[in-house]
Amino acid sequence: MSDQLRYQLRVNGKDRDVSAPAHKTLLDVLRDELHLTGTKECCAEGECGACTVHVEGDAVCACLVLAAEMPGHEITTIEGLAADGRLDPLQAAFVQCGAVQCGFCIPGMIMSARALLNGTPRPTREEVQDALSGNLCRCGGYSRIVDAVIKAGTAS
Amino acid sequence: MTHTIGQSIPRIGARDRVTGAQKYTADLPFPGALHVQLVHLDAARLTIKKIRRDYAARVPGVVAIFTAEDLPQPMPRFGPAVADRPLLADPETRFYGEPVAVVAAETLDGAREAAMLLREHIDAEELPPVITIEQALDPASPLVQRPENRPNDPNARTNILREWTFGWGTPPDRAHLVLERAYRFPMVTHFAIEPHAFAAAPDESGVTIWSPTQHPFVLQRVVAACLGLPLARVRIVSPDPGGGFGGKGWPKFEPLLAYMALRLGRPVRLVLTLEESFQSARRTSARIQARTAFDSDGHILSQDLRTDFLVGAYADIGIRVVSKASYAACGPYRTPHAAVHARALLSHTTPSTAFRGFGTPQASWAVESQLNEAARILGIDAVEIRRRNLPRKGEAFIPGDTPADGDWEAALTKAETAIGWHAPLPPGRGRGISLGLKSSSTASASLAIVRLLFDGSVSVFSATSDMGQGARTVFAQIAGRELGISPDRIVLTMGDTAVVPFDSSTSASRSTVFMGNAIVRACVNIRAQLRGLASRAYGVPEDRVSVEPGVVRVAERQLTYVEVLRDGFGPPRGELVGVGEDRGGGFRPDHPLGGRPEFWEFMCSAVEVEVDSDTGAVDVTRLVLASDVGKALNPQQVEAQDEGAAMMGLGHSLMEELILDDRGRVRNLGALDYRLPTTMNMPQELHSILIENEDGPGPYGAKGAGEGGILGIAAAVGAAVHQATGVQIRELPLTPERIWRAIAQR
């Protein structure tokens, strides 16, 4: 198609060639072109946080940015968090604390929490609540998720 | 470690969910699949005059456009209770979001563009809709469904889809206090974080459908009936849902997709937007008029309830929601006289369906709030009035039905203590308490297959849907206990009707009990087969062989399962296949619900709130949940379910409501405008208490859990807000605006 753009994205430490129309969001490209389906789509308007990824270490809703604006930026998705099959301490804490139920919100939740912990390794409960206020979960009461983030912070 | 019952082993599947490896339906590749888009219009009720398809058809990659005219006539209809829903509007739309046409294209962009062009070229006449209970009951209102589509139905010329009367006892001669109040419960939506997604593909044997459905065998039945196919030719693959809550229980667009796949001879896929998911399922809204009589000691003498539930345009499972919730609406109390008149009312709104609590949160909001109001008038403490009316274990509080099956007073007392019920409160704070009782599954069936493989590892086959409650984990714990095998040597296969045996549904908090029992029985069946195998292998009579979890005793020898399999089967190898089933108490045509509930799901909720009288904003300072679960097979999972249910209850109590305009359009469609509890709405303190007396009908005395937490939250919050502010509000949600206005008008 004529509006197809070709560019390179750096995702999880690797350069990936992309060919996609200009209007595709980072979320579209991650899921449909690069088959990184760990990043989830729910509201597609930046409210639910299910599509949270890191751009240069900051938590960003992948549904709100155009993929074509992302070349030159370091992008990390949930697939890039566990190194060599070893879970990130935050991922392990989510499992241990029983923070995972249906799991659909969890990749976004973990990416938001990881961004928090990178800047604030020992957050207070209020800081965790604030950092995760843009990530919706419908299964749980959030308390186990907050517990997991605090636990991972303490462990690091 | 083989005996993990009662231990919080980590959730099976959690690792894939924290790494992003878990595949939900929309994550699956469907090579060569056409992208489907629904075409729906900007009002609830429209009659389609003409659809111009030439612009849409010219979009590159468009393969097919179906309108009502392109479908077989009469239009195929479907539904789990009544086959009243057409594949496409025919030609009148009955709710905002009902598709009038559908587009299939090679690319998603192409399908979207064509759907937009089609929508812009539809000539339709807008008609006034029925969107409130009052409108539905007004004889001057239009009929939602055509009378000719409701043959032999005395209410066919009304918007009453179905009505029931339930009751027992005789009215009291006199009463000390009679209260009569009306309570309203809003339309709310499930808002599973995973929007609905579907795919269908034709194949040699028929059609395969992928859907995150909670009930694959219901979907199989409904699609087969709609398309005139044998059950065996309809295969349902149901990947783990990303949240269900009832919203993914009953068929939505799967019959349409199956039809398209067969007609086009190609796979098709459809992922709904969150907005379309809102337009596909909701909770039944309700107005409940409660007239309750008490003696001077606060004993309930009589409950007279008129429960009007606004279902949507089609029956879905809404009629069962209304009848089941209304039947047990008097709650967990001795009620000498009960008269319940229940109505399911049609409207031009989203078909209402199952939603956690299945109508009981609506009924509890009324009956429990009324009890709190009565307690205040009578000068009796809200805990005490409940204590005086609670049946003891074994007491038949609904005549002829399953008696009280737990120590319910213990739950009440534990919650009373944990919330600090009698401690002084600072100004602006209030406490409230409420009980919730839900009828569990009645007539239903679960089958399980357990295969003991040659190396002693185990495969379990079950149609239960692991939608977040953690069914796989609990089933592995059960099979591990019964066969003496560590859960990490057990693999569960779920959600494929071509592979797993029949199960009625993943609903009504039934799976731990029904499927759990089926798995226990399949394991017992395996142990019996092992006994026979050992008897033959070692030439010892069966009465000298005993099989326990993990151990086979043959005369004086003690063997492992693997040794018996090896010696019994020899070099050709083999495996043992056990089958188990639980049909509960079975179908009883004389019972108002077709069967007694297997157990009662009981929960006591207590909350403490702080209300800002300047803004009306409510902060939940403490929340206590005490549930009678019989036995928590995995306590962490039970607590997480209770907490999640309670959080969802805080949603409909404080903020959630679908707002409709007079054209029947949802004005707060989507995550921006529909408020859901976030981390900022978490209770400051949360205590989950589990009452475990091992007195349930499930494995090791378990009862079902998972819905209890939502049942009584609203009434507890309502009472707490009253205590904090002095205002009594009988309409949910208790938004800051509603509270602020009530305070201002006090």
Q: Which residue has the tokens 């309670």?
A: B646
- Contact between chains at A40 and B193 (C-beta distance less than 8 A): yes
> Taking 60 as the threshold, does the pLDDT of residue B437 lie above it?
yes
Min Cα distance A8 → chain B (Å) is 22
B17 interfacial to chain A (CB closer than 8 Å) = yes
pLDDT digits (tens, 9 = 90+) for B590-599: 999 999 999 9
- Whether residue B638 sits in one domain with residue B707: yes
Give residue B507's pLDDT: 96
**What rounded mean pLDDT belongs to chain B?**
97
- Whether residue B660 sits in one domain with residue B548: no
- Whether residue B75 sits in one domain with residue B206: yes
Question: By CB neighbour count within 10 A (0-12 exposed, 13-18 middle, 19+ buried), where does A12 fall?
Answer: middle
CA separation for the pair B744, B93 (Å, rounded): 42
Give residue A156's pLDDT: 66
> Taking 80 as the threshold, does the pLDDT of residue B723 lie above it?
yes
- Whether residue A64 sits in one domain with residue A97: no
The number of distinct structural domains making up chain B is 3
- Whether residue B649 sits in one domain with residue B560: no
B263 — pLDDT class (breaks 50, 70, 90): very high
B711 within some domain = yes
B577 within some domain = yes
- Contact between chains at B672 and A98 (C-beta distance less than 8 A): no
pLDDT digits (tens, 9 = 90+) for B90-105: 999 999 999 999 999 9
CA separation for the pair B110, A77 (Å, rounded): 28
- Whether residue B437 sits in one domain with residue B451: no
Question: What CATH number should be reported for the domain holding residue B117?
Answer: 3.90.1170.50
DSSP string across B373-431 = HHHHHHT--HHHHHHHHPPPTT--SSTTSPPP-S-HHHHHHHHHHHHTTTS---TTEEE
- Whether residue B734 sits in one domain with residue B606: yes
Domain membership of residue A16 as a residue range? 4-80
Question: What CATH number should be reported for the domain holding residue A125?
Answer: 1.10.150.120
User: What 8-state DSSP symbol labels residue B332?
Assistant: S
- Contact between chains at A47 and B670 (C-beta distance less than 8 A): yes
- CB-nearest to B19 from A78, A133, A139 is A78
pLDDT digits (tens, 9 = 90+) for B335-358: 999 999 999 999 999 999 999 999
> Taking 80 as the threshold, does the pLDDT of residue B446 lie above it?
yes
- Whether residue A111 sits in one domain with residue A68: no
- Contact between chains at A102 and B193 (C-beta distance less than 8 A): yes
CA separation for the pair B363, B434 (Å, rounded): 12
Give residue A83's pLDDT: 81
B273 — pLDDT class (breaks 50, 70, 90): very high
- CB-nearest to B20 from A21, A77, A92 is A77
Domain membership of residue B641 as a residue range? 354-441+598-744
B496 — pLDDT class (breaks 50, 70, 90): very high
Q: Which residue has the tokens 């199956």?
A: B258
Beta bridge partners of B290: B181, B305
Domain end among B582, B606, B636: B582
B133 within some domain = no
- Contact between chains at A138 and B13 (C-beta distance less than 8 A): no
Domain end among B550, B582, B614: B582
CA separation for the pair B460, B450 (Å, rounded): 5
B668 interfacial to chain A (CB closer than 8 Å) = no
Name the B residues in 77-96 with CB < 8 Å from any A CB.
none
Domain end among B278, B304, B321: B278
Residue B274: closest C-alpha in chain A: A43
Give residue B545's pLDDT: 98
ipTM of model? 0.98
The number of distinct structural domains making up chain A is 2
Chain B residues with CB under 8 Å of A42 CB are 193-195, 274, 671
Of B38, B25, B54, which is closest to residue B108 (Cα–Cα)? B38
B274 within some domain = yes
B293 within some domain = no
- Whether residue B515 sits in one domain with residue B397: no
**In the annotation, is B707 catalytic?**
yes
Chain A residues with CB under 8 Å of B637 CB are 98
- Contact between chains at A95 and B15 (C-beta distance less than 8 A): yes
B599 interfacial to chain A (CB closer than 8 Å) = no
Specify the DSSP element, H or E, that contains B163: strand B160-168
> Taking 50 as the threshold, does the pLDDT of residue A1 lie above it?
no
- Whether residue B551 sits in one domain with residue B476: yes
Chain A residues with CB under 8 Å of B191 CB are 136, 138
- Whether residue B638 sits in one domain with residue B568: no
Min Cα distance A107 → chain B (Å) is 6
pLDDT digits (tens, 9 = 90+) for B649-700: 999 999 999 999 999 999 999 999 999 999 999 999 999 999 999 999 999 9
Question: What CATH number should be reported for the domain holding residue A56?
Answer: 3.10.20.30
- Whether residue B611 sits in one domain with residue B543: no
Residue A129: closest C-alpha in chain B: B679
CA separation for the pair B66, B115 (Å, rounded): 11
The pTM of the full predicted model, rounded to 2 decimals, is 0.97
- Contact between chains at B10 and A39 (C-beta distance less than 8 A): no
> Taking 70 as the threshold, does the pLDDT of residue B69 lie above it?
yes
* A108: amino acid identity, one letter: G
Question: By CB neighbour count within 10 A (0-12 exposed, 13-18 middle, 19+ buried), where does B30 fall?
Answer: middle
Give residue A144's pLDDT: 98
Helix, strand, coil % in chain B, rounded to nearest 5? 30, 25, 45
| Mean pLDDT confidence for B355-379 | 98
Catalytic residue selected from B92, B163, B598, B707: B707
B588 within some domain = no
HSE (CB half, 13 Å, CA atoms) of B409?
Answer: 11
pLDDT digits (tens, 9 = 90+) for A64-116: 999 999 999 999 999 999 988 899 999 999 999 999 999 999 999 999 999 99
- CB-nearest to B468 from A79, A101, A145 is A101
- CB-nearest to B274 from A44, A92, A144 is A44
> Taking 60 as the threshold, does the pLDDT of residue B557 lie above it?
yes
pLDDT digits (tens, 9 = 90+) for B131-143: 999 999 999 999 9
Domain end among A54, A80, A106: A80
B730 within some domain = yes
pLDDT digits (tens, 9 = 90+) for B290-302: 999 999 999 999 9
- CB-nearest to A144 from B13, B23, B640 is B640
Are B92 and B125 a contacting pair, CB within 8 Å? no
> Taking 50 as the threshold, does the pLDDT of residue A131 lie above it?
yes
> Taking 90 as the threshold, does the pLDDT of residue B261 lie above it?
yes
% of chain A at pLDDT higher than 90: 94
Chain A residues with CB under 8 Å of B245 CB are 138
**Nearby residues of B188 by Cβ (< 8 Å), 6 or more positions away:** B282, B283, B355, B651, B652, B656, B657, B658
> Taking 90 as the threshold, does the pLDDT of residue B277 lie above it?
yes
Give residue A107's pLDDT: 98
Are B166 and B342 a contacting pair, CB within 8 Å? yes
Domain end among A56, A80, A104: A80
- Whether residue B572 sits in one domain with residue B620: no
